[in-house]
Amino acid sequence: MVIERKEVNKSTIRLWYSIEFMNEKNVYEKDIEFIVKKKSKLKKLKVQKTRNSVFKNNYKNFEYDYEEDFYDPDNYFD
């Protein structure tokens, strides 16, 4: 779930997510900050970098549709 979104400039957005991870023993929640870039024609956002290696490994090719006023990234973590 998105907990904060900040437009850095016209092509970059910084997002903070609260994401639930699960492994064999635990389910835990982690706040993650990462930066996304808008692809001009496709209106897609793609993760550029993150400080969290668990996120990086599990969501390396994370991508979601971007709409100016509405987006629901939670649907992309199924």
Query: Domain coordinates of the chain in residue numbers?
Result: 2-77
Mean of pLDDT over the chain: 55
Instruction: Give me the pLDDT at residue 68, please.
Output: 38
pLDDT > 70: percent of the chain: 4
- pLDDT, one tens digit per residue, over 9-44 is 766 667 666 666 566 676 656 666 666 665 544 444
CA distance 10 to 67: 13
Q: Which tokens belong to 67? A: 């709409």
